[in-house]
Structure 1
């Protein structure tokens, strides 16, 4: 399968700038413009995608013959990151045609015309285009690591060290990007900025296997589950209804979540619901010790 990653500005709908905004799209987007604003606009049964490459797109690296002007049957992975940080998959085209050079949209739709979009680099049938809702964009793409996307807006992911990531991406899109829905209580923390790092962080905390293992480990060692931040014990307060109940917080800061790392029980902390919510409301997520000091200072005040 020929696959290419295209990094663009972050938007909610990619269906025109009206009622939307664009973040971190590079210097050519400094005035909130950019041809990717219509990357998922439906136009006569097709979508016309744009990415800003350095020079021309090397279609030979996507299976085209030498000297060809396009490559057919390509899977295009669209990635982006909001101002909040992180780079995530925002959508994809399958069985797309990727052109070496800019092409003129043969018959621009009204939405294209109102956004001054006349050119494209990639085209696909609308049934082969998938845009991930903003709050579900939690598949993070590493950048400044070996095998990651790097600084280029067009990445061919050809090196051996990228093979594992590519395999995971293919499985992800074949599943239709199906993920478990975050509880409503987490919506406030993710909706406003569409922070993919935070969404991924919250999903990791809800890994049922890890949560259960952490609870059993703490119960075996201490005989009870108390919040590591404030000391609250659900069973002591609620009796049998609180037995074995707690929440589990991932200690790794979201700023470090681009790197691929297996979560261990030492990465998790037992916390009560209140402390957990407040920890995630703080922009720079504190450690448990830092949060305990915060509680102590407020209590002493």
Structure 2
């Protein structure tokens, strides 16, 4: 595990625009760039953490891994270019601050600027725990743990539809369509109360043939809210998923009709009515 130091105040920007890199991770889930790495430590697969060494924003900003290790160089060189793949990048100003890191993750000289350094083994779990505590659950699906919150061996990389995980498009879709499933009508908020508020999957309805180079996402026309069950069933057909209308037809053919969930009081009243009718 390696800590990569970056000073944004010096004008040295390996990201080609940090804001753009943050947007790329948000939309596509990954961002790759060249980085000067220590050859003996930065082997392919090595976990890395990004530490901002700027004057106004010192703290851990990102997480990733080495995907291309650098070539060995003479001993008098600090490192050589390799490729790092970031799977989490926070906006500047949203880092884990240095004072909190010093308190919670001892064993690292957080006040010293270095281009890279090995994170001591005992500090790794503490850093991961702090990162998890300050991370947000995936609003599209909390079953996806935020990158960096679990050890690399506990994670498998999954491919997802980037249009279904675009946070801006998701917000526009739900603002228009609401947060109930467009197929079965299920509402997590009605079923679970406040913890279920605003939770629902978002499904991309445009067939694969329509995703050409000129395609631009329309969050209202191209995205619909689906519960995880209906969303999974939509993707049971390849290459083009079932549409919400097709799923509603399948449900009707299977004997499911739209309705509402009765409260315990309503069920009791219904049972009393049946008992009274039978008595007469």
Please classify the TM superposition score into its range, dividing by the shorter chain length. Answer: 0.3 to 0.5
TM-score (norm 2): 0.35
TM-score (norm 1): 0.33
Rg (Cα) greater in structure: 2
